[in-house]
C-alpha cells in the first residue's frame, strides 16, 4: 500500500485552501499513484478570528447517510471517487452544538465515509516563543478511539497534540493498528525540537507506521498577527526510521507501507506481549 502525506500552507480563505489541496493531490496522484492520500490538520481553515472559523465550520452529515456535506467534505468525497483512492481528510472544522470540533473524516475509494475522529487533546499551552494557545476556548474534545480498515491495513486516527499522550497510541495498537495518521499544524517553536522525535518515538513504542501530513509556513490570526507552523510532513516505519519527508514549502511525500516490515519488527521484539500495566 502506498501512502502520500500532503503538506499545505492554508489560511483563512476556505475556497483557496480547497483549490490548493486539489492542486497538490492531483499532482501527487499523477506522479506517485498512492492508495491513500492524507491532508494536514485544519487544512480547510487556519487562522482568522472566531467569526471566520465559525463561518468555515461544517455541519457533518449523519454517519452512514447519503446526505450532502459542506464544501470541504464534498471535495474530499469527490476526490476519493475521482482518483479511486482512500482520502484521510486531515482534519476540518466541524460545527458542534456548543463548540467547534477538530475532526478527521475518512473516505473510501467509492466516496463513502468510513471513519470520523474528533481530536481528544486540546492545545492549551504557552510556546517557547511566548505565544499562547487556548484551543479549549473554541473547540470541544473528542472521546472516541477510532480505527478503520483500508485493504489489509488497520489504520488509527490521531491529530497533532495527541502525539504527546502515549496512552492513545497504545490503545490504537491494541485495537490492531498497523498505520497511524497524525495530521498536524505543529507550531514552528515546538516543531523544530519535538516533531520528528515524538513521531519516531511513538512509532518505535507501538511498532506502527506513522504518516504525519502537516501545515507549513505563515498564516495570520484574527488581529493580523503572524503565526508559523513547522511542516516537515513525514512517514516513519515501525522501527522508527524516517522513510519519506517533505522539506520546507508545500508539497508531498509518498512511501510504501510494507506489512512484512511490521511483522518482522513485532516478531523480533514483542513489546505488546511484554507490556505491564502499572
Tell me what the mean pLDDT of segment 34-40 comes to: 98
SS3 for 25?
Answer: helix
Q: Is 63 a catalytic residue?
A: no
Strands (E), 108-245: 113-118, 124-126, 132-134, 147-150, 153-157, 179-181, 209-212, 216-220, 226-230, 234-236, 242-245
How far apart (Å, rounded) are the C-alpha atoms in residues 155 and 98? Answer: 30
208 catalytic? Reply is no
**Average pLDDT for the chain:** 96
Helices (H) and strands (E) in the chain, counts: 7, 17
Confidence band, pLDDT 50/70/90 cuts, at residue 175? very high
> How large is the average pLDDT for residues 99-112?
97
The model's pLDDT over 211-245, given as tens digits with 9 standing for 90+, comes to 999 999 999 988 889 999 999 999 999 999 999 99
Distance CA 112, CA 146 (A): 17
Say which residue the cell 491513500 belongs to.
36
As a whole number, mean pLDDT of residues 78-90 equals: 98
Q: Which three three-digit cell numbers place residue 33?
A: 499513484
Can 119 be counted among the known catalytic residues? yes
- Percent of the chain surpassing pLDDT 70: 100
Separation of alpha carbons 166 and 107, rounded Å: 26
Residue 7 scores a pLDDT above 80 = yes
Q: Which of 58, 113, 119, 135 is catalytic?
A: 119
Of 58, 113, 135, 160, which residue is the catalytic one?
160
247-256 per-position pLDDT tens digit: 999 999 999 9
CA pair distance 7, 234, nearest whole angstrom: 9
Q: Which residue has the cell 506502527?
A: 208
The catalytic position among 41, 94, 113, 135 is 41
Q: What class, spelled out in words, does domain 2-274 have in CATH? A: alpha beta
Q: What is the DSSP string of 120-151?
A: -S--EEE-TTS-EEEGGGTBPPP----EEEET
CB under 8 A, 24+ apart: contacts of 52-59:
52/12, 52/222, 53/93, 53/100, 53/138, 54/95, 54/100, 56/12, 56/14, 56/93, 57/93, 57/94, 57/95, 57/100, 58/92, 58/93, 58/94, 58/95, 59/94, 59/95
38-53 per-position pLDDT tens digit? 999 999 999 999 999 9
pLDDT of 278 over the 90 cut: no
Amino acid at each position: 500500500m502506498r501512502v502520500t502525506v500532503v503538506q499545505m500552507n492554508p489560511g483563512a480563505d476556505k475556497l483557496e485552501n480547497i483549490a490548493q489541496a486539489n492542486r497538490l493531490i492531483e499532482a501527487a496522484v499523477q506522479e506517485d499513484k498512492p492508495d491513500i492520500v492524507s491532508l494536514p490538520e485544519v487544512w480547510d481553515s487556519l487562522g482568522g478570528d472566531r467569526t471566520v472559523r465559525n463561518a468555515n465550520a461544517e455541519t457533518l452529515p449523519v454517519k452512514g447517510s447519503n446526505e450532502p456535506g459542506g464544501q470541504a467534505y464534498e471535495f474530499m468525497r469527490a476526490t476519493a471517487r475521482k482518483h479511486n483512492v482512500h482520502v484521510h481528510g486531515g482534519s476540518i472544522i466541524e460545527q458542534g452544538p456548543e463548540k467547534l470540533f477538530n475532526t478527521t473524516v475518512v473516505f473510501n475509494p467509492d466516496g463513502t465515509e468510513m471513519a470520523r475522529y474528533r481530536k481528544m487533546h486540546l492545545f492549551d499551552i504557552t510556546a517557547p516563543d511566548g505565544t499562547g494557545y487556548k484551543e479549549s476556548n473554541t473547540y470541544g474534545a473528542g472521546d472516541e478511539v477510532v480505527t478503520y480498515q483500508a485493504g489489509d491495513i488497520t489504520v488509527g486516527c490521531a491529530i497533532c497534540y495527541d502525539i504527546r499522550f502515549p496512552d492513545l497510541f497504545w490503545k490504537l495498537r491494541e485495537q490492531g493498528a498497523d498505520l497511524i495518521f497524525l495530521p498536524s499544524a505543529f507550531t514552528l517553536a515546538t516543531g523544530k525540537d519535538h516533531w520528528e522525535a515524538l513521531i519516531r518515538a511513538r512509532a518505535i513504542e507501538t511498532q506502527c507506521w506513522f504518516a504525519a501530513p502537516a501545515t507549513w509556513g505563515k498564516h495570520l490570526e484574527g488581529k493580523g498577527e503572524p503565526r508559523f507552523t513547522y511542516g516537515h510532513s513525514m512517514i516513519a516505519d515501525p522501527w522508527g526510521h524516517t522513510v519519506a519527508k517533505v522539506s520546507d514549502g508545500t508539497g508531498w511525500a509518498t512511501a510504501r507501507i510494507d506489512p512484512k516490515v511490521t511483522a518482522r519488527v513485532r516478531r523480533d521484539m514483542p513489546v505488546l506481549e511484554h507490556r505491564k500495566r502499572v
